[in-house]
Structure 1
Amino acid sequence: MKRRRRPASQPPGAPKWMVTFSDLITLILVFFILLFSMSQIDIVKFRTIADSFQQRQILEFYPSVISFDNPSAEPDMESEESKRREAEQDLNALLSNIQSYLKENKLSDVVVATRSERGVVLVLQEQALFASGEAKVLPDAYPFLDKVGVLLSEIPNFVKVEGHTDNRPINTYRFPSNWELSSARASSVVRYLITTEDLDPKRFIAVGYGDTRPVAPNDKVENLQKNRRVEVIITDPAYEEQ
Structure 2
Amino acid sequence: MKRRRQQASQPTGAPKWMVTFSDLITLILVFFILLFSMSQIDIVKFRAIADSFQQRQILEFYPSVIPFENPSAEPEMEMEKMQPQSSEQADKELTQLLADIQSYLNENKLSDVVVATRTERGVVLVLQEQALFASGEATVLEDAYPFLNKVGDLLSRIPNFVKVEGHTDNRPIGTYRFPSNWELSSARASSVIRYIIQTENLDPKRFIAVGYGDTRPIAPNDTRENLQKNRRVEVIITDPAYEEQ
Q: TM-score, normalised by structure 1?
A: 0.67
Which residue is equivalent to 1:107? 110
Q: What residue number does 1:58 align with?
A: none
Instruction: Provide the residue aligned with 1:155 in structure 2.
Output: 158
Q: Give unpaired runs (5+ residues) of structure 2.
A: 1-76
Counterpart selection for 1:210 from 190, 209, 213: 213
Q: Secondary structure at the match of 2:234?
A: strand
Once the 2 structures are TM-superposed, how far is the Cα of residue 100 of structure 1 from its aligned partner?
A: 0.2
Q: Say which SS state the counterpart of residue 197 (structure 2) adopts.
A: helix
Superposed CA RMSD in Å reads 2.3
| 209-218 or 78-87, larger mean C-alpha shift | 78-87
- Unaligned runs of at least 5 residues, structure 1: 1-74
**Aligned equivalents of 2:140, 2:97: Cα separation in 1:** 23
Other structure's SS at 1:136 match: coil
Q: Describe the superposition over 1:35-80 as per-residue Cα deviations: whole angstroms up to 9, x where unpaired.
A: xxxxxxxxxxxxxxxxxxxxxxxxxxxxxxxxxxxxxxxx99x997
Counterpart CA distance in 2 for 1:211 and 1:126 is: 13
- Tell me which residue corresponds to 2:131: 128
Quote the Cα distance in structure 2 between the aligned partners of 1:81 and 1:152: 16
Shift in Å at residue 81 of structure 1? 9.7
Residues in 2 aligned to 1:81 and 1:147: alpha-carbon distance in whole angstroms: 25
Distance 1:136 1:81, change over 3 A: closer
Partner of 1:229: 232
TM-score, normalised relative to structure 2: 0.66
Q: Using the alignment, how far apart are the partners of 2:177 and 2:158 within structure 1?
A: 35
Q: Which one of 170, 175, 179 corresponds to residue 172 of structure 1? A: 175
Match of 1:239 in 2: 242
Q: Which residue of 2 aligns with 1:182?
A: 185
| Match among 126, 139, 142 for residue 142 of structure 2 | 139
Distance 1:204-1:82 versus aligned 2 partners, 3 A rule: closer
Paired residues in the alignment total 172
2:225 match: secondary structure: helix
Counterpart Cα distance in 2 of 1:170 and 1:160:
25
Determine helix, strand or coil for the equivalent of 2:179: coil
Q: What residue in structure 2 maps to residue 36 of structure 1?
A: none
SS of the residue 1:97 aligns to? helix
User: 1:26-45 counterparts in 2 under 5 A?
Assistant: none
Q: Tell me the equivalent position of 1:91.
A: 94
For residues 96 and 152 of structure 2, the distance between their equivalents in structure 1, rounded to whole angstroms, comes to: 15
1:220 equivalent to 2:220? Answer: no
Q: What percentage of aligned pairs have identical amino acids?
A: 81
Q: Secondary structure at the match of 1:107?
A: coil
Greater Cα radius of gyration, structure 1 or 2: 1
Determine the C-alpha separation between the residues in 1 that align with 2:143 and 2:235. Answer: 18
